[in-house]
């Protein structure tokens, strides 16, 4: 999955090393697609391990500057697969990542991640979507964190990430009732950042292209500033922001951005 260095457009579909996801590379953009439409893209142990592996590898691909998370079929993800693990087996086992739950690999991806969501997005599917930086949804999308209705708790970050996105009160409403949240209401409370009438995949890619108009180092540092700052008191978070600002000031991309502004042209980013 190693891209060539430079700005020339190119594309690649990663060979059939995965059973339950597809990974495609086009230019500076990676696309990871859940690919179990016959099961509503429910998460099983194979899909979980493949997501962890793909995003861990993509994190080290310096020539890829952003990623899009999509799903095949009418629904983004209907939650955990009740047929996995098989009877008389314990919880999910991910030998390649024994200490890493798959949403953490997605959330730890250091570059911008845009999720395109259609249809139903429930349970662990919503927990996965919460790991994205930007969520684009079709108007028919419905969101739910419905594990309590099944006699269990969200266990992949839902009780922690959802309040950070929509606030404690709204998060408790959704978690304690398990109700379905229509896309329009999801946009109103900030769970979704953009709604689209047409092709959600095309819309998510368009958002990613808008992101890619900016320098890759700036994108990474801006994302780091936001996510690290959320875990800190304001005065400490402001120090992090200033430290990352000073770091970006030392890069060639900063010089290119300044020169492009003065010369009234589009910058040519190099990621250094």
CATH number at residue 99: 3.90.226.10
Record the pTM.
Answer: 0.88
Could you tell me if 174 and 221 lie in one domain?
A: no
Could you tell me if 238 and 140 lie in one domain?
A: no
Count of domains in the chain? 2
- Confirm whether 269 is domain-assigned: no
Could you tell me if 47 and 144 lie in one domain?
A: yes
What is the DSSP pairing of strand 21-26 with strand 29-34? antiparallel
| Banded model confidence at residue 9, pLDDT cuts 50, 70, 90 | very low
Question: What does the radius of gyration of the chain's CA atoms come to, in whole angstroms?
Answer: 19
- Confirm whether 195 is domain-assigned: yes
Phi, psi of 21 (to 5 degrees): -135, 165
CB–CB of 224/110 below 8 Å?
yes
Could you tell me if 164 and 249 lie in one domain?
A: no
Report the alpha-carbon angle 141-144-146, nearest 5.
Answer: 150
- Strand order of the β-sheet with 120-122 is 120-122, 142-144, 181-182
Could you tell me if 259 and 165 lie in one domain?
A: no
Last residue of a domain, one of 173, 193, 212: 212
- Residue ranges making up the domain that contains 235: 216-263
99-126 confidence digits (pLDDT tens): 357 899 999 999 999 999 999 999 999 9
- Confirm whether 42 is domain-assigned: yes
54-103 confidence digits (pLDDT tens): 999 999 999 999 999 999 999 999 999 988 765 445 544 444 434 357 89
Could you tell me if 51 and 123 lie in one domain?
A: yes
């Amino acid at each position: 999955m190693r891209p060539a260095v430079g700005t020339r457009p190119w594309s690649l579909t990663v060979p059939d090393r995965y059973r339950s996801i597809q990974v495609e590379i086009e230019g500076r953009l990676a696309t990871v697609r859940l690919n179990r439409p016959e099961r509503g893209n429910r998460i099983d142990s194979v899909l979980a391990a493949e997501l962890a592996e793909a995003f861990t590898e993509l994190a080290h691909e310096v020539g890829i500057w952003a990623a899009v998370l999509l799903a095949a079929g009418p629904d983004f993800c209907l939650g955990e697969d009740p047929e996995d693990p098989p009877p008389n087996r314990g919880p999910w086992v991910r030998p390649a990542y024994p200490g890493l739950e798959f949403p953490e690999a997605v959330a730890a991806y250091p570059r911008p991640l845009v999720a395109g969501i259609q249809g139903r997005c429930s349970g662990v599917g919503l927990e996965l979507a919460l790991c994205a930086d930007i969520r684009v949804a079709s108007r028919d999308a419905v969101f739910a964190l419905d594990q309590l209705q099944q006699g269990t708790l969200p266990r992949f970050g839902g009780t922690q990430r959802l309040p950070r996105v929509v606030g404690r009160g709204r998060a408790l409403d959704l978690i304690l009732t398990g109700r379905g949240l229509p896309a329009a209401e999801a946009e109103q409370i900030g769970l979704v950042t953009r709604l689209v009438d047409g092709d959600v995949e095309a819309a998510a890619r368009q958002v990613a292209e808008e992101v890619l108009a900016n320098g890759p180092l700036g994108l990474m540092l801006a994302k780091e500033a936001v996510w690290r700052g959320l875990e800190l008191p304001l005065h400490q978070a402001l120090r992090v922001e200033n430290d990352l600002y000073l770091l970006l000031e030392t890069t060639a991309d900063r010089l290119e951005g300044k020169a492009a502004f003065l010369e009234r042209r589009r910058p040519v980013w190099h990621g250094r």
